[in-house]
Amino acid sequence: MKRVILISGCSSGFGKLAAVRCARKGATVVATMRNLDRRAALDAAAEAAGVQLDVRQLDVVDPESRRACVEGVLRDHGQIDVLVNNAGFGIFGPFEEVPEAELRAIFETNFFGAAELTRLVLPAMRDNRRGTVINVSSGQGRAGIPGFSTYGASKFAVEGWSQAMAHEVGLFGVRVCCIEPGSCKTEFSFASMHRHAHTDSGPYARQMAAVQRFMAPIYMASPERVARAITRMSFRRRPPARVPIGVDTRALLWAKTFLGLRLLRWITRAILPRLAPRAARESTPAPPAP
């Protein structure tokens, strides 16, 4: 039987590219998105690749939508071999300026949505004694950087959950893998992240301007690399627990491992202010000494 792969967040970015790639390798791909009015780009990509996709509605934060989607896939295809938890969004700005409602919203999508969707899929995987759960995490789920404290927190939660769950479900032949992308140029890019008050003015402006200047040239990596990794892991019998992707992710993890958090924090505080545009340096006070 064909491998059945369920992917969330397929209207754009990694999800769209991975759905087409997996279908080209012969899988039955159930490509889902919150709003089916946004399926035009996915349909065009599938047509260009000469593949067919089973496109369905799925809002990962809606319990009824999750239940209906999983039940429908199992009814129509009989199994789910791979679940790719890809749906998510980002927030840029200092933690102090992020409203509580948005903090809860990002966890509802990036963590709870993925967790509850997985909960619905696991019984079928256990019954079949096989399956793979692929969680699209981030390098920032293992090492945090300024301006992404809220987004990083949601991905740290994904990493911790995935690591522990892998021990639990491994007894039933189910594997768990975290894909950890660095910065990629997709619709889910630095420019499209939610922003908040005092990101461009106020006490954090100097630091946020430096982060933006530092990150901007990084957002040139191809999202195809992430899609290829998702596809490879979807067809591997024993995928690794973590797949870091990108020079920035690898550099950040190396620095955290070999320099330690204290030295990494000192380097960040010493270098970032020098990267801020002149206007931001002159209009905001310098941060206190460490």
Please tell me the distance from the alpha carbon of residue 262 to that of residue 81, in angstroms, as a whole number: 42
Q: Which of 14, 111, 148, 151 is labelled catalytic? A: 151
CB 183 within 8 A of CB 225: no
Is 151 designated active site?
yes
Helices marked H in the chain:
13-24, 40-49, 63-77, 100-107, 114-128, 149-169, 205-215, 224-235, 247-258, 260-275, 278-283
**Domains observed in the chain:** 4-200+221-249 (3.40.50.720)
The residues facing 179 across adjacent strands are: 136, 243
Rounded to 5°, angle at Cα 16 from 220 and 177: 85
Question: Are 185 and 227 in contact, with CB atoms under 8 Å apart?
Answer: no
User: pLDDT truncated to tens, each residue of the chain (290 aa)?
Assistant: 789 999 999 999 999 999 999 999 999 999 999 999 999 999 999 999 999 999 999 999 999 999 999 999 999 999 999 999 999 999 888 999 899 999 999 999 999 999 999 999 999 999 999 999 999 999 888 888 888 899 999 999 999 999 999 999 999 999 999 999 987 665 544 444 555 444 566 788 888 887 777 666 555 567 899 999 999 999 999 999 999 887 766 667 766 676 666 666 665 665 555 555 554 444 444 433 33
Measured over the CA atoms of residue 8, residue 10, residue 15 and residue 20, the dihedral's sign is positive
What is the C-alpha separation between 231 and 84, in angstroms, rounded?
Answer: 10
Q: How far apart are CA 110 and CA 105, in angstroms?
A: 9
Cα separation, 257 vs 277, whole angstroms: 30
